[in-house]
Amino acid sequence: MTNGNTVTRERIAAMEPRIRPYVRHTPVLRVDMADFDRPPLTVDLKLECLQHSGSFKARGAFTNLLERTVPKAGVVAASGGNHGAAVAYAAMRLGHKATIFVPEVSPPAKLERIRSYGAELIVGGARYAEALEASERFAEETGALQIHAFNQEETLVGQGTLGLEIESDLPQIDTLLVAVGGGGLIGGIAAWFAGRIRIIAIEPEGAPTLYRAFEAGRPVDAPTEGIAADSLAPKRVGEIMFPIAEAFVERSILVSDDDIIAAQKALWNRVRIISEPGGAAAFAAVLSGRYAPTPGERVAVLVCGANANPATF
């Protein structure tokens, strides 16, 4: 199964051992929703929020740097924060120069993390799309290798290794809930599972990129608002991931900012997991009841990012 591109199970499986020395095998926490004042339900939380650089993005970043030739000018990336931190971390580990463009909406916690990895950080523009345009100009002027946050085959292949790891950890699950912004994460995971489990996309109401794409039958512009705008609000999903999502993602469910805030607080207060808004979005669907499992359904939720300060919850 090629899904119209080269983001295949075979390529993901071959990539996993190459990035394994650089990424963590993140843990799974089994919880009962009764602990969150909801009806009893066993849910497995895959804690990719504990990954290097604070999110799943490290997988795609290392895949890009290991699979592609990095010039003397180094690498450049545009990011709401997490992708930039991951690229900066991977570049630091592999000895490359990194320049990261982020929009003004990026939170201080993410900017501090990017700087801590020694990258040159450039802040400008209201949203991700403007940072992306600036990074593209920089790449043209300097020859730096551009690493796209989601619309790049290597990025999807790297994120797909998380699907492989989830299947290894949780071979019995029926359903996996995954937050969506540009779609690199869910695209890679869906390419790995290839229809063998139910995959549900979870998106903020203020940034329904995949939801709108499903409605239109193609990637289209969507609003870029809401509490998770720094991580889940590009203008549209990637062209590479969309046919994979059409084939293997069952549907998209929208959650409100209030749902996401409640999920962040619940994860911190009940199980001491720090999660940023984008990282908590998938759990918000279960906590709010917007996703209601059928009796006996075995559900896993991906908690995908932790670059936040719990004092702000």
Could you tell me if residue 309 is inside a domain?
no
Domain extent for 130: 57-146
Could you tell me if residue 313 is inside a domain?
no
Query: Domain boundary residue among 127, 146, 165?
Result: 146
Mark the ranges of the chain whose per-residue pLDDT is less than 50. 1-4
Q: What is the pLDDT of residues 181-229, one digit of tens each?
A: 999 999 999 999 999 999 999 999 999 999 999 999 999 998 878 787 6
Could you tell me if residue 295 is inside a domain?
yes
Identify the burial level of 223 via C-beta atoms within 10 angstroms of its C-beta, where 0-12 means exposed, 13-18 middle and 19 or more buried: middle
Domain count, the chain: 2
Query: Domain boundary residue among 146, 164, 198?
Result: 146
Q: Record the tokens describing residue 288, joined without a space.
A: 């709010």
Q: What pLDDT sits at residue 2?
A: 40
Rounded to an integer, what distance in angstroms lies between the CA atom of residue 33 and that of residue 83?
31
Instruction: Let me know: does 176 contact 235? Beta carbons within 8 Å.
Output: no
Rounded to an integer, what distance in angstroms lies between the CA atom of residue 240 and that of residue 234?
15
Residue type, 167: E
32 shares its domain with 120 = no
Could you tell me if residue 292 is inside a domain?
yes
220 shares its domain with 174 = yes
Residue type, 207: A
**DSSP secondary structure, 46-92, as one string:** EEGGGSGGGBTHHHHHHHHHHHS---TT-EEEE-SSHHHHHHHHHHH
Rounded to an integer, what distance in angstroms lies between the CA atom of residue 313 and that of residue 266?
10
CATH number at residue 174: 3.40.50.1100
Q: What is the pTM of this model?
A: 0.94
